Structure 1
Amino acid sequence: MHVALTGATGFLGLRLLRRLLDTHRSVTVLVHAGSGDALHRITRFFALTGAPEPFVAELPGRLRVVETELEQPRLGLSRRAFQELAGGLGAIWHSAGSINLEGGLPELRRTNVEGTRHVLELAAAGRGRPVVHHVSTAFVAGSRREGVAYEDELDDAHGFENAYERSKYEAEVLIHAWSREHRRPVVVLRPSILVTDLPPHPELPPHPLQVVERILRDARHAAGPGSPGHDGAGPDGPHGAVPGGRPRVRLVGHPHGRLNLMPVEHAAEVMVRLAGRTPSGGVDTYHVVHDRDVPVLTITTLLERLVRLSIDLVATEPDDRSALEALVDFYPGLTAYLAHRRRFDDTRVRALFGPSTASGRVDLDYLWSGLAPRDRVPAGPSPTPTPTAAFPSARYA
């Protein structure tokens, strides 16, 4: 059975490709037209991450690279090329998409919804009726911040934290309609926030927390020397500087919040194992998540160490924002999740795989390893983030 993979040069796609090459002699990678030398980037990833030299040397003969345009009908291919591609496939993995939390809905729909539509067209055109494996996100659960999100739930009753979540929700709605119309199986894989302890490298794709770090670092720099605490000056107040000159930033969040962070390597392993099961015939949805959530205070402590800030969690957005806080507020996808306390149910996956589903521990040391260059050492414990506004005593939503 021949398999095609979109998003093969992405953070998750590269790990999926590694797992797929364990079980398939060759893989067709569908890459964005004009994005550069995909084969070189893939080869460099495996070389930099310690893959055996014989494995790396064989890659040019095992990978077929096809340049496509996800946003275009027939993936931007000629009718003949599209039909030839579809006719040789037994499975399609759709991992490509935009994860821009600050993106506008029209832009995200073009990539995440229309891109999915065109991948489904490829599946429908295939003589071998290839099974589609669609990488979604656990965050299609939307802006409900408490309770349990179940795998079979798919509705927009709670709204969404950002346009990215909505676009991924709409893609899943499209998949359900396509599966019913064509009576074809689809496997939907919903990972949580994917991370790694692999140190950052300029030739490796970043993960979400690296993007968050860069946003905070850029915002701190852009606020300039006139912002409170930028150079150690300013009052030691709610939006001033703490001793030592660290700018103090107030972010809306819950002191008992938690986030699900999943090691990307383990997520890829679980996804490929799930793909090895016989599909039900309809849409089979799986949460690919960690069995233990990470406290929000761990995330803020990590960011404090990396960016040299002091982060205070507050219940509501302050009226008297500093220049730095105003800049951070330009990125609505950045802080929305600091108030989340919900849990993603993965009973189905744990029932299938048992103890082998359990992930390695994701703690402050693990996250630091995946964000700090090797020549940096932790700057010592940061001040514990302190709520500076009163929180409701019973619950927070």
Structure 2
Amino acid sequence: MVVHVALTGATGFLGLRLLRRLLATHRSVTVLVHAGSGDALRRITRYFELTGAPEAFTAPLADRLRVVETELERPRLGLPGRAFQELADGLDAIWHSAGSINLEGDLPELRRTNVEGTRHVLELAAAGRGRPLVHHVSTAFVAGGRREGVAYEDELDDAYGFENAYEHSKYEAEKLIHDWSREHARPVVVLRPSILVTDLPPHPELPPHPLQVVERIMRDARHTARAAGGPGAEGRPRVRLVGHRHGRLNLVQVEHAAEVMVRLAGRTPSGGVDTYHVVHDRDVPVPTVVTLLERLVPVSIELVAAEPDDPSALESLLDFYPGLTAYLAHRRRFDDTRVRTLLGPSAASDRVDLGYLCSGLAVGDPVPAGSSISPAVNSISKQQS
């Protein structure tokens, strides 16, 4: 039986890897892209070319991908009524991976994409005569400001507050999912990855590594502090950041996460909301993350128990970005018993260490435009009908 599937966010960091996996098991995929964002088909094809896909895979992409320009923030995805209904009626499954991960954004801004975008994807699912199954990509960080203990998959609680507006917006989107599922008596699969990383070097024609955002913020803050002058502005300034030397962060390979997500999607849903933590089975120690940041940006980081009473200009600038460095104090663990029970040993990830992270952030020189970064991290699976 041919299953008709749609994917939002197909040109994003995770979306491209999900598309790779979906094309291994589906003859065609409908990609819902942001209206006016450019040639999505060309960008998708270029990703596969750069990551070593054979021509036998890339050549027929124009026939296997149906590109529909949409506006997630608008009702009916910004489509005319008839086009919206035709799209809805032609789908058996919807993957919603589009969203904003802007750690600098405020809540109203992030709600427009992460909450209202989810609302309108659910509107599409509700309108379809085939009652398409929704797969919603959330984040393990809906656990919010809870820094210790265990975060379980069935937990969805705002009692601990949130480290930043991004976490808050993703929490609200999940609440919306639960309300919709109850109202329509429809199943939804919620997939909660942790911080997604890769060892594929940055390339100007590919979506940026999520940790490049952190690097840019720290570089901009350091540049501004140097321009302002003052003690410690030159050389390799000391930065005191609140953190715990026994802290840990969960970082998972994006390619592995996409594989696990698509495999989980093959399970028969329970009828309600099935939530899965797509996380690494081993956390990365905070000292490793600190070493990575020091290699990315010429600063010397000192972990402290509380914010200093006499912050430097650089420390004050970094404090403007809520949640940027708060994760250095995290010691919690994400429970993934459900995933490991369903998938067994194959749910385990390869090691994420300092070398892996440095490769994915090109500590050294990034790959120049026009260059290939093949071979692919994962080979293209044989197409199945």
Please tell me the TM-score bracket, short chain as reference. Answer: over 0.9
- 2:327 alignment counterpart: 337
- 1:292 alignment counterpart: 282
Code of the aligned partner of 2:6: A
**Alignment counterpart, residue 352 of structure 2, candidates 362, 373, 378:** 362
Code of the aligned partner of 2:116: E
TM-fit CA distance, 1:374: 5.8
Code of the aligned partner of 1:347: T
Distance in 1 separating the partners of 2:294 and 2:306: 20
Code of the aligned partner of 1:176: H
**Alignment counterpart, residue 211 of structure 1, candidates 207, 210, 213:** 213
| Alignment map for 1:305-384 (pairs within 5 Å) | 305-372=295-362, 375=365
- 2:381 alignment counterpart: none
Which runs of 5 or more residues in structure 1 are unaligned?
232-244, 377-397
TM-fit CA distance, 1:207: 2.1
Structure of higher RCO (CA pairs closer than 8 Å, 6+ residues apart)? 2
Residue 109 (str. 1) matches residue 111 (str. 2): yes
TM-fit CA distance, 1:350: 0.2
Q: 2:247–2:331: 8 Å Cα contact kept in structure 1?
A: yes
Residue 135 (str. 1) matches residue 125 (str. 2): no
Q: 2:202–2:209: 8 Å Cα contact kept in structure 1?
A: no
Per-residue CA distance 1:354-383 (angstroms, 9 max, x = gap) = 11111000000000000016648xxxxxxx
Pairwise CA RMSD: 1.1
Residue 8 (str. 1) matches residue 10 (str. 2): yes
Distance in 1 separating the partners of 2:53 and 2:231: 47
Q: Decide which structure has the larger Cα Rg and report it.
A: 1
Q: 2:140–2:192: 8 Å Cα contact kept in structure 1?
A: yes
Residue 272 (str. 1) matches residue 275 (str. 2): no
Distance in 1 separating the partners of 2:178 and 2:222: 44
TM-score (norm 1): 0.90
Give secondary structure in 2 for the equivalent of 1:334: coil
Deviating more after overlay: 318-327 vs 344-353: 318-327
Which runs of 5 or more residues in structure 2 are unaligned?
367-385
Residue 146 (str. 1) matches residue 148 (str. 2): yes
- 1:43 alignment counterpart: 45
- 2:96 alignment counterpart: 94
Q: 1:108–1:167: 8 Å Cα contact kept in structure 2?
A: yes
Give secondary structure in 1 for the equivalent of 2:200: coil
Code of the aligned partner of 2:55: E
- 1:24 alignment counterpart: 26
Identity among equivalent pairs (%): 86
Deviating more after overlay: 290-299 vs 313-322: 313-322
Distance in 1 separating the partners of 2:87 and 2:289: 44
Distance in 1 separating the partners of 2:364 and 2:218: 21
Per-residue CA distance 1:184-213 (angstroms, 9 max, x = gap) = 110000000000000011111112211111
Distance in 1 separating the partners of 2:230 and 2:197: 32
- 1:171 alignment counterpart: 173
Q: 2:294–2:300: 8 Å Cα contact kept in structure 1?
A: yes
Q: 2:136–2:190: 8 Å Cα contact kept in structure 1?
A: yes
